[in-house]
Amino acid sequence: MRASAVASPSRRRRPRARTPPAPAPRSVERPYHHGDLRRAVLEEALSLIEEQGNARFTLREVARRIGVSHAAPYRHFPDKRALMTELAVQASTALRAQIKAALESAGGDLRARFLAAGFAYVRFALEHPAPFHVMYSSEVDAEDPRVAAATSQSLELLLGFIEEAQRAGAFPPGEPGVLAVPIWAMHHGLATLAASGNLSKAGPVELRRVVDDAHARLLDGLLHAAPGPPRA
């Protein structure tokens, strides 16, 4: 055998050192609203409700969607009920503000103000379907003081309008709360129908006409019950 055919031990090629695999990157929380986790959780919950049409989601699912650990949402909300309650408070406050703005912008005419407030309720349901759904969800803690306060403030807005109309002789006298029930029921019923797409498919102008007509019929019934004074 030729000597060159066998490499000497000193000339044998040494095995190349293998580069160890790079360590897997540690999972990091995705940036969310400049670090505002609480806001991110609330917004993602509303997105889920709007996509699904219901509130059948979990805090774990919310966490996954915003790219944080499963435990992260619990820093701000001890459970889903607390999250839904906060969403309901925010929604109720926003709805009241929208109705109040509509009443103020409609001027002093009773009919114009009544129709504007009614349509503001309907418009809120159309523009904010998820918050509107949350306000009446069974998963909200109705005993929470903030929920009670937000509901009371909205009711006070309606009662204030009724009392003003009563002082003007436009609405019949009596307990304002009695009149508040049919008015609120009309507002809510029309809003629910509109939000579900069952009221009018002819566009926003026709929808406004339908909503105003329904509210006007209710208003006319209240005005006809008033003794003496002419209609506003």
Structure tokens at 135: 């306000």
Domain boundaries 32-77, CATH class: mainly alpha
Q: Are 115 and 215 in contact (CB under 8 A)?
A: yes
Which of 41, 32, 131, 136 is closest to 79 using CA atoms?
Answer: 41
Asked if the model's pLDDT at residue 20 lies above 70, the reply is no
Structure tokens at 35: 């670090």
Helices 80-105 and 145-167: crossing angle in degrees, nearest 10, is 20
Q: What is the pLDDT of residue 197?
A: 86
Q: What is the pLDDT of residues 123-149, one digit of tens each?
A: 999 999 999 999 999 999 999 999 999
The better pLDDT of the pair 78, 225 is held by 78
Q: What is the pLDDT of residue 224?
A: 65
Which of 122, 132, 133, 115 is closest to 199 using CA atoms?
Answer: 122
Residue 53's pLDDT band (boundaries 50, 70, 90)? confident
- DSSP code for 7: -
Amino acid, single-letter form, for residue 66: I
Q: Are 65 and 44 in contact (CB under 8 A)?
A: yes
Q: What is the pLDDT of residue 221?
A: 86
Q: What is the mean pLDDT of residues 18-40?
A: 55
Q: Note the residue count of the chain.
A: 232
Which of 161, 194, 198 is closest to 176 using CA atoms?
Answer: 161
Q: What is the pLDDT of residue 87?
A: 97
Asked if the model's pLDDT at residue 16 lies above 80, the reply is no
Domain residue ranges of the chain, discontinuous segments joined by +:
32-77, 81-224
Q: What is the pLDDT of residues 56-114, one digit of tens each?
A: 999 999 999 999 999 999 999 999 999 999 999 999 999 999 999 999 999 999 999 99
Percent of the chain with pLDDT over 70: 81
Q: What is the mean pLDDT of residues 178-196?
A: 94
Contacts of 100 (CB under 8 A, 6+ apart): 157
Q: Are 44 and 66 in contact (CB under 8 A)?
A: yes
CA angle 133-195-37, nearest 5°? Answer: 40
The better pLDDT of the pair 159, 53 is held by 159
d(CA 144, CA 86): 10
Return the CATH fold of 81-224.
Tetracycline Repressor; domain 2 (1.10.357)
Asked if the model's pLDDT at residue 3 lies above 80, the reply is no
Q: What is the mean pLDDT of residues 16-34?
A: 43
Average pLDDT, whole number, for the chain? 84
Residue 114 CB neighbours (<10 A): 24
